[in-house]
Amino acid sequence: MRGKTAIKISAGLAATALLVTACGGGGDDEAGASNAVVSVEVAEPQYLLPSNTNETSGSQVLASLFTPLVDYDADNKPVEVAAESVTTTDNVTWTIKLKDGYTFHNGEKVTADSYINAWNYGSYGPNGQNNSYFWEKVEGWSDLQSEDPDGEEGPQKAPEPKAKTLTGLAKVDDLTFTVKLSAAFSEFKTMLGYTAFYPLPAAAFASEGVVKEDFEEAIIGNGPFKMKGTWQHDSQIEVEQYAEYPGDKPKIQGVIFKIYQALPAAYADLASDNLDVLKTIPTENISSAEADLGDRFKKSAASTFQFVAFPTYQQEFSKPEVRRAISQAINRDEIIKSVFKDSQTSARSFVSPVVAGYREDTCGVNCAFDAAKAKSEYDAAGGPKKITITYNGDGGHKDWVDATCNQLKTNLGIECTGVAEPKFADLLTKLDQKQPIGMFRMGWVMDYPSMENYLGPIYTTDGSSNYYGYSNKQFDTLYKEGVSAATPEEAIAKYQAAEDILANDMPVIPLRFGQNNFGHSTKVKNVEMDLFNRVNLLKIEAA
């Protein structure tokens, strides 16, 4: 092993030398920017269009090519980047002023229209964009949608929506526009940091409201890097510094996003210094990563939240007493240690620690492991003798579900089995039909850092991911009051009151909060990852 360091260093030097010669021809060495090109692992992105990209690989690439209106500071509060200011007096009408001087990579000026056109395209139903629901709160959104009158199986086609553009968007001047929401929403500014809200240049459109078909192959953004060549599918995407970028300059010349089919292959490349940043260390390598990478193995907070949900519409799980007892019978810390090798942390709250307003241990005594108390309460409440935990078999959940089941067996003296559905979609189908599938595993990754983004979709009566039929009027009211509160502080107070209701009702059992487990090569330093599992490309430097 001793000889390896020497080999590594010489390999590193050789590689750096190659990179220097490769990029030396560029000529624009202004501001002392390093010539380094850094390679970052991604999976093949599904799409590379802001309004259609909702997975981490695509948004990692887009984050290098685009600058958002707002980004998040160390406390996860929004700060203006491409926006000069985002202001409102009533939380309904928001005025967005753009900074002057931003241009797209083709030289086009970034104007209010760049945003309005992109957002109209994204929210127009027939365009089928994955992120269209982000504009739901903007006035006129529902007029852009249409439903198939006889379901998708039927012969009739969905009619054209009533309108083509959002009535809530209005241009004031070249660098100012307003967004009118259909109801007050105090955290609209926080939302604006999401991928969906990037602007698009006029060059993106083939005609009004129609994006060019091959625009994604060589996408033009307003960010610090521009695309070099085209998207080489299944191979790599290369970006280089955009010389006219007015914002903070990155410390590297460019990035190669290397596309991997499977994480273990990327890990092998990282361990042999062929790859600079691996965003997720595969679970099977977690235990050896410390030894392989030393202090180049890093951890940071992420927004994932894993929990087990109760189908509250099922008789045997309708009593909160039963749900609380089951929660108390689970030893979270032990599972995290034995199954996850400490790559995640225990959850005892209903929102992730990464959002403002998070409080530790809101679940209180209901999430504290106490086998004896759990058993006596479970028996007193008349909990079912047999339970199942359903999970999707394609997500690597078997180990912890089995471990959880074993704990329930021992601690409650009941039968428990883990049932695998092939895919998450199959699980959703059964839930839609309200089939009695027992308890089931769920997870949540936030879209923007706000308590609202957890409480709304997962726990409100008509929440988009509330598959378990949980409904509490008081909770819904508090949530709504939070959404329309005058200030973020007031909103948080309402949300926290709502969260306290969850602690009593226990519609779900919080289990784990995720974290980024990442690693980097000897050739780079200052590698940081954000809450969205993205590498901060403005901070990363050649070592």
Q: Is 443 a binder of other proteins (CB under 8 A)?
A: yes
Q: 177, 260, 310, 479: which one contacts other proteins (CB under 8 A)?
A: 260
- If the CB atoms of residues 54 and 117 are measured against other proteins, the closer one turns out to be 54
Instruction: Build a one-symbol-per-residue string for 151-170: x at contacts with other proteins by CB under 8 A, - elsewhere.
Output: -xxx--xx------------
Provide the β-strand partners of residue 72.
78
How far, CA to CA in Å, does 289 sit from each of 121, 195, 280, 341?
44, 31, 11, 11
DSSP state of 432: H
Q: Is 51 a binder of other proteins (CB under 8 A)?
A: no
Q: 79, 425, 486, 504: which one contacts other proteins (CB under 8 A)?
A: 425
Secondary structure of 238-272 in HEC code, one letter for each residue: EEEECCCCCCCCCCCCEEEEEECCCHHHHHHHHHC
- If the CB atoms of residues 67 and 304 are measured against other proteins, the closer one turns out to be 304
Q: 29, 90, 148, 208: which one contacts other proteins (CB under 8 A)?
A: 148
The answer to whether residues 538 and 81 touch, using CB atoms and an 8 Å cutoff, is: no
Q: Taking contact as CB under 8 A, which single stretch among the options 123-131, 366-374, 402-410, 479-487 is the one that binds other proteins?
A: 123-131
The site for other proteins, by CB under 8 A, has a size of: 53
What is the CA 4 to chain-centroid distance, rounded? 38
State the amino acid at position 15 in one-letter form. A
How far, CA to CA in Å, does 1 sit from each of 45, 292, 523?
37, 11, 20
* Other beta carbons within 10 Å of 422: 10
Q: Is 369 a binder of other proteins (CB under 8 A)?
A: no
Q: Is 394 a binder of other proteins (CB under 8 A)?
A: yes
Q: Is 143 a binder of other proteins (CB under 8 A)?
A: no
Q: Is 258 a binder of other proteins (CB under 8 A)?
A: yes
Q: 16, 130, 178, 314: which one contacts other proteins (CB under 8 A)?
A: 130
Q: Give dist(CA 530, CA 195) in Å, integer.
A: 14
Site residues (CB under 8 A) for other proteins, limited to 475-534: none
Q: Taking contact as CB under 8 A, which single stretch among the options 124-132, 185-193, 238-246, 338-346 is the one that binds other proteins?
A: 124-132
Give the pairing of strands 254-259 and 37-42: parallel
Q: Is 415 a binder of other proteins (CB under 8 A)?
A: no
Whether the CA torsion 38, 39, 42, 45 is positive or negative: it is positive
Q: Taking contact as CB under 8 A, which single stretch among the options 129-137, 185-193, 401-409, 527-535 is the one that binds other proteins?
A: 129-137
Q: Give dist(CA 473, CA 274) in Å, integer.
A: 55
Site residues (CB under 8 A) for other proteins, limited to 236-255: 236
Q: 162, 212, 337, 423: which one contacts other proteins (CB under 8 A)?
A: 423
Q: Taking contact as CB under 8 A, which single stretch among the options 41-49, 300-308, 370-378, 531-539 is the one that binds other proteins?
A: 41-49
* Nearest one of 13, 38, 14, 23 to 540, comparing CA atoms: 38
* Nearest one of 118, 97, 129, 125 to 203, comparing CA atoms: 118
Contact set with other proteins (CB under 8 A): 7, 11, 44, 46-47, 54-55, 125-130, 132-133, 145-148, 152-154, 157-158, 232-236, 258-262, 264-266, 268-269, 271-272, 274, 392, 394, 423-426, 428-429, 443, 464-465
